[in-house]
Amino acid sequence: MSRPTSGPLTIFLTVVFGVSLVGFLRGTRHEDYSFETPLRDLPEAHHGGVRPARPYWEMRDAPRGDGPVLAADLAAMIEAMPSRTEAVELGGTDKRVALADRADNRAFFGAPPTIPHPVRQQTQAECVACHETGLRIADKAAPPYPHDGFVSCTQCHAMGEPALPWDPQAQLADPRAVDNSFVGAQAPLEGERWTGIAPPKLPHPTFMHERCVSCHGPNGRDAMKSTHPDRQSCLQCHVTDAELEQRP
């Protein structure tokens, strides 16, 4: 009894393997492609700003802010911040106005401020990007956070505005939100002084406010800025209040 021949099957598998190999080699070969962006379908005002698409292998090394929308790079905004050695001018500013503006973002004095912009709550990396050292975005100031060691920002800081539009669950009203008559304490205008020229005491506790530069640094509200931010050991002259610190 003769064995069946495998000639046709062998030929078929050889052809399939050869085509697959050729396709793999061509697909992984690096070639320099150049594309011309058609301008005929674009409005006349856009003709001067059209850029060719960037290949994927160049995107990793491309500098941030390469497009018109991303012109404000984080590093550039940090470099544009005033330094601690620059002169501080407080003329024409009112501390009461600054405190009232600060209070608008808090439920009561001492409460963590609400987040005045949409955020994603999965990670703190985006919060740290702006608030680790602080920066300015146009006329808005992102102060550095006043405390270290806390890694879940939204555990204390609630969103003051609706969440991002692609999160439909977050757009629903919070059922815990109810009207109440609670009135919080007013923020102190300034700390007491032993004499007229002595440094004022801290009018608030230092817990969760260990980094004085957050409110009183060069990037703070004008009327609340320190006139000598280059002196970085604040508690060397400004003593704490034992009652506010809850010390006997």
Mean local confidence (pLDDT), 9-29: 82
SS (H, E, C) the chain: CCCCCCHHHHHHHHHHHHHHHHHHHHHHCCCCCCCCCCCCCCCHHHHHHCCCCCCHHHHCCCCCCCCCCCCCCHHHHHHCCCCCCCCCCCCCCCHHHHHHHHHCCCCCCCCCCCECCCCCCCCCHHHHHHHCCCEEECCEEECCCCCCCCCCHHHCCCECCCCCCCCHHHHCCCCCCCCCCCCCCCCCCCCCCCCCCCCCCCCCCCCCCCCCHHHHCCCCCHHHCCCCCCCCCHHHCCCCCCCCCCCC
Is residue 35's pLDDT more than 70? no
Q: Which residue has the higher pLDDT, 75 or 41?
A: 75
For residues 207-232, average pLDDT = 88
Average model confidence (pLDDT) across the chain: 77
Question: pLDDT tens across 74-94, in order?
Answer: 777 777 788 888 888 887 788
Query: Per-residue pLDDT for 243 more than 90?
Result: no
Q: Is the pLDDT at 39 greater than 60, yes or no?
A: no
